Structure formats: C-alpha cells, structure tokens
Amino acid sequence: MIKEWLVGVGLAVLIFLGILGLNVLPIFFLVAVSVALWYVMDRRSAAPTAVREASVRPRVSFDEIGGQEHAKRELMEALDFLKYRDKIKTLGIRPLKGILLTGPPGTGKTLMAKAAATYTDSIFLSASGSEFVEMYVGVGAQRVRDLFRRARTQAKKENKDSAIIFIDEIDVLGARRGQHSHQEYDQTLNQLLTEMDGMSTTQSPLVLVMAATNRPDMLDSALLRPGRFDRQIKVDLPDKEGRLHILQIQTKDKPLADDVNLEHIAKETYGFSGAQLESLVNEAAIIALRQEKTQITQEMFRDAVDKVLMGEKTGRKPTDEELHRVAVHEIGHAIVSELMRPGTVSHITIAPRGNALGFVRQIPENDRYLYTLEQLQQQINVALAGCLAEELHYGNRSTGAQNDFMQASSLARTMVKCGLSRIGIVDEENLPDTVLDTEVRYILGQQEQATRALLQPFKQHIAEFAQSVVAEESVSGDAFRAWLQQVQQSARVDWAVPLPAGFHEANGTAVPSA
C-alpha cells in the first residue's frame, strides 16, 4: 500500500513540474533508477521466504534404514525426550535443542532426520547450509529467523506439538568465525546461535534443530556447546551385518536368482556406504535389463560391484602386448594376496574400467579397524607384487604400478608414524622428513625382497596363466585358486632369497607358517 502511494505522489509531482515548464526527463530518469534499485533490494530482503526449505510429511521410518543400529538407538533415545515430554518432566529432564549427525557421505544422515520426524510426528523443514549465505549483509540472518518462524507457524497450522528443522551441510553455515573475510558468514552464524539460545524447551510447539555434516572439525565451538547441539551422533560406514541388512532392504522388491548370496556380497563390499549399496543393487538390475533377463544373478552383482568401485567399462583398446602385461601384473597381485590371506581373491579382470586397465578384487577376511605390523607388511607385499611380476617376466617395469607405489608408500609411512618401524616410537610433528623418507625407503626395500621371494617360484607359470586371463578377460577366484594349487604341487624351485617372516618352504613353494 505504501509503495503504491509513493508511486502516485511521485507521478503527480513530475506532472506538476512538467506543467510549470521544467525539464523533467533527468528527474524521471533518476526516479526510474531509484525505483529499479528499490525493487531489487526489496526482492533480496524478501528472499528468506524463497529459501528452498521443504515442509514435507516424510514417510521414512527407522525400520527402513539399515546398517545404523547403534546410531538409530542413540537418536531414538534423544527423540524420546521430545516425544514423551510429560513423562520426562517428572525427572526434571530438559529436552534437547539440537542433534548433530556426523559421518561420511552416503551413510543415511538425511534419511535419519526424516525418520526422526516420522517417529515424533513432527513438522519437517529442511534446508542446505549454502542457502543461507549471501553477499548482501543481513540476508542470511533474516533467512535463519524466517526458517524458525515458519517451523512454528507450520506446526501450529497443522496442530502439531513439535517441528524439526534439518540443516544439511551445516559446515557451510557454521564454520569457525573469523575464517571468512565476508562479515555475512559470521552474522548468519550469530543469528543461528541466537535462535537456538532463544528456543524454549517448554513452549508448544517445540522446535528441534537437526544438522548433518561430513566435517565436524570445521564447526564453531560455540555451536557445539551444550544447550545448542546437545548430542553428536556418529553415522558411520556399516559393518558386514549392516551391509547385509541394507542389501536385504534394497533387494526386497527385486527378482533375485537362486544363486544370489547376499551374505557373500556383503562380505565383498567392505567400505561401502548405504548409498553405494543402493547404487550396487540398482546397477545389477540395470545389467539384468541390458541382458534381457528376468532375474538378477550373482554374476550381475559381481559386475555391479566392479562398476561402483571402478566405474563403467571404457572404450580404450590396449594392444595385445599391453593386455598381456596387464594380465601378468594382476596375476602378481593375486598370487601374493592368496599366499598371504588364502581365499581372499574374488576375481581377476583386465577389462579397462575408469583409470585402471585391470584389477584384482579381494574379499576381506573380516572388517578390520586395527592393523598389526605383519598385516601392514602383507598389504605392502600385495601392492608391490604387480610390478615385480612384470620384472620377473619381462625384465623391466611399466608405469602401470604408479598407484601401487603410492599405496605402498602410504602404508610404510603409517608404519613409521605408528611406531611400528625399526626407529620405534616417534613424534610425528617433530619427525624430520629426511628420517621419515629414509625409513620408508628401507621398509619398501625389505618388502620388495620378500615379495620377490614369494613370486620367484611362479616365474615360469605366470605367462601361461596370463594367456588364459587375456583370452577370457576375467577369471574367477575359484579358477585362479585351482591353478595356483596345481602350480604349488608341481613346483620344485629353490628359493633365490630368504622367505619373508611368517613363511616357510614346502615342496618348493612358500607356505604360511602355522
């Protein structure tokens, strides 16, 4: 109403000045520019209502989220303070104001926030941290105020006792103050802190703030103190049982063949997030559609695992010589892996995927969180085996071992920094680079000798099996183990160098000591 009144008065003044004979064109131009700027700034100030927060009624329940049993229990316990407010009043418990979900990407943090809204029958508003950051000072803070206002208004409108505000990627909004040159970042964070301080835990509707981040170390300490984000819940990568649960949920409406073993797939997919497992099942179904099959087989799941890990098959066509070298390289990895940890080779392939011309997929024996010196040495042996197999057969190495060397070097550095090397316990911050590099080279040199000793008896046999790999493009772990066992039984080769620790000679080959 005020805008229309001002526009009318301005036009009347311009007409009056024109009647008096004054040149009103410059004035008209200035007024037009002022109105345009006013309109732009007005749209900017009204932008908080345009933040893409979603006021939805999520239908996700905790039963539909697999692999996060511990996180779900901890979250549901925190939500009970919101759900059963009358009951907890008798103990004088204050409901929580904020819950922070942390963990790697794809582990289900957003799904858990939606399930929390379903569990508590709350209004659910979601927004991303980047939506609050603008170059115009004060806009982000206004958007924060508007988000909390909308949560309360929407809850009252739908007769709900509570509302959940979910802020994804809160590290954009809540990063430590003083790190940004633009004042808007700090003002927006200050407004969020003020809103959370002003939240009453007794009024109705009650507002609970949930947030997710992959980088909790970047958040401002004032945001993490009690009274704001009272709980931090770790949503980590699922273990084997968790992966099996996720696979069961994702495949419940998929036509599976009788040979599908979900437990074996769960064992193969160590380190996969929930999002990757969902993509795995979807890719297996796509492969079935591409092959015009009515059921998804175990082999399709195997190919889907390769695609999720390495990417789609590329159009690169290596020469026959390159294919043979790649096969020799991968067989070297497979031999040492099988000698170190029997039964761990899933399959060998030389089909180019992503940046790799070939690879050996291994099945971990168990989910590991701690590693001994011997286990780290074994991983270095496996990493170095590819280039050493090339050296034994061709007399030289290729550039295909670059990533293997990086992995081996990283493992050696881990050994030094964890006090597992010959120099003992070290202070990582005060460890001279020259000492670190010298010890890493020593470790890699020792493990290179040990790996060469393991591969030496197979020198004459690797080339023959490489021909089979080139012809078939992919060889299963069972077929590889059958060949390896046959070679071990027939080999009668003296060892050129001492065997690595944990191995002894038996019938001309290396056998793990009991």
Is 384 in contact with 346 (CB distance < 8 Å)?
no
Asked, for residue 315, whether it belongs to a domain, the answer is: no
Structure tokens that stand for 513 in this block: 């000591």
Q: Look at residue 49 in the predicted model and tell me its pLDDT.
A: 41
Asked, for residue 156, whether it belongs to a domain, the answer is: yes
In the block, tokens 């799941």 appear at 301
Q: How far apart are CA 79 and CA 164, in angstroms?
A: 11
Q: How far apart are CA 309 and CA 307, in angstroms?
A: 5
Which residues have C-beta within 8 Å of that of residue 205, sequence separation ≥ 6? 123, 151, 152, 155, 156, 160, 161, 162, 163
Q: How far apart are CA 327 and CA 324, in angstroms?
A: 5
264 and 134 belong to one structural domain: no
Q: How many CA atoms lie within 13 A of 298 on its CB side?
A: 12
Could you give the 3-state DSSP secondary structure of residue 166? strand
88 and 39 belong to one structural domain: no
Q: Residue 431: is it exposed, middle or buried by C-beta count within 10 angstroms (0-12/13-18/19+)?
A: middle
Is 240 in contact with 247 (CB distance < 8 Å)?
no
Is 165 in contact with 151 (CB distance < 8 Å)?
yes
- Catalytic residue status for 330: yes
Asked, for residue 357, whether it belongs to a domain, the answer is: yes
223 and 281 belong to one structural domain: no
Low-confidence ranges of the chain (pLDDT < 70): 1-58, 133-138, 178-185, 198-203, 365, 491-514
125: domain CATH number?
Answer: 3.40.50.300
Helix-strand-coil percent breakdown of the chain, rounded to 5?
A: 55, 10, 30
Catalytic member of 278, 330, 338, 448: 330
Is 101 in contact with 153 (CB distance < 8 Å)?
no
Asked, for residue 297, whether it belongs to a domain, the answer is: yes
273 and 350 belong to one structural domain: no
CB-CB neighbours of 498 under 10 Å: 10
Q: Look at residue 212 in the predicted model and tell me its pLDDT.
A: 92
Amino acid at 50: A
Asked, for residue 402, whether it belongs to a domain, the answer is: yes
Domain end (from 25, 45, 65)? 45
Strand extents, DSSP E, 147-220: 162-168, 206-213
223 and 128 belong to one structural domain: yes
Strands 503-506 and 509-512: antiparallel
Secondary structure of 116-144 as H, E, C letters: HHHHHCCEEEEEEHHHHCCCCCCHHHHHH
Domain end (from 212, 234, 256)? 234
Q: Look at residue 347 in the predicted model and tell me its pLDDT.
A: 85
Q: How many domains does the chain have?
A: 4
- What is the CA angle 134-135-137, rounded to 5? 90
In the block, tokens 């004042």 appear at 183
246 and 212 belong to one structural domain: no
225 and 135 belong to one structural domain: yes
Domain end (from 310, 340, 365)? 310
Asked, for residue 166, whether it belongs to a domain, the answer is: yes
Is 411 in contact with 371 (CB distance < 8 Å)?
no
Q: Given CA atoms 27, 28, 32, 33 in this order, what sign does their dihedral have?
A: negative
Q: Which of 333, 355, 328, 357 is nearest to 346 (CA)?
A: 333
Q: How far apart are CA 123 and CA 120, in angstroms?
A: 9
251 and 342 belong to one structural domain: no
Q: How far apart are CA 6 and CA 42, in angstroms?
A: 15
430 and 476 belong to one structural domain: yes
Q: Look at residue 195 in the predicted model and tell me its pLDDT.
A: 83
CB-CB neighbours of 494 under 10 Å: 8
138 and 254 belong to one structural domain: no
The residue segments making up the domain with residue 116 are 54-234
Dmax over CA atoms of the chain, in Å, equals: 116
Asked, for residue 244, whether it belongs to a domain, the answer is: yes
Q: How far apart are CA 502 and CA 455, in angstroms?
A: 15
443: domain CATH number?
Answer: 1.20.58.760
Q: Which of 139, 215, 128, 127 is nearest to 171 (CA)?
A: 215
474 and 343 belong to one structural domain: yes
Q: Residue 250: is it exposed, middle or buried by C-beta count within 10 angstroms (0-12/13-18/19+)?
A: buried
Which alpha helices (H) appear in 20-68, and where do they start and end? 25-45
Amino acid at 284: A
Secondary structure of 440-451 as H, E, C letters: HHHHHHHHHHHH
Q: How far apart are CA 265 and CA 270, in angstroms?
A: 9
486 and 440 belong to one structural domain: yes
Helix axes 320-340, 433-455, angle to 10 degrees: 100
Give pLDDT tens digits for 289-301: 999 999 999 989 9
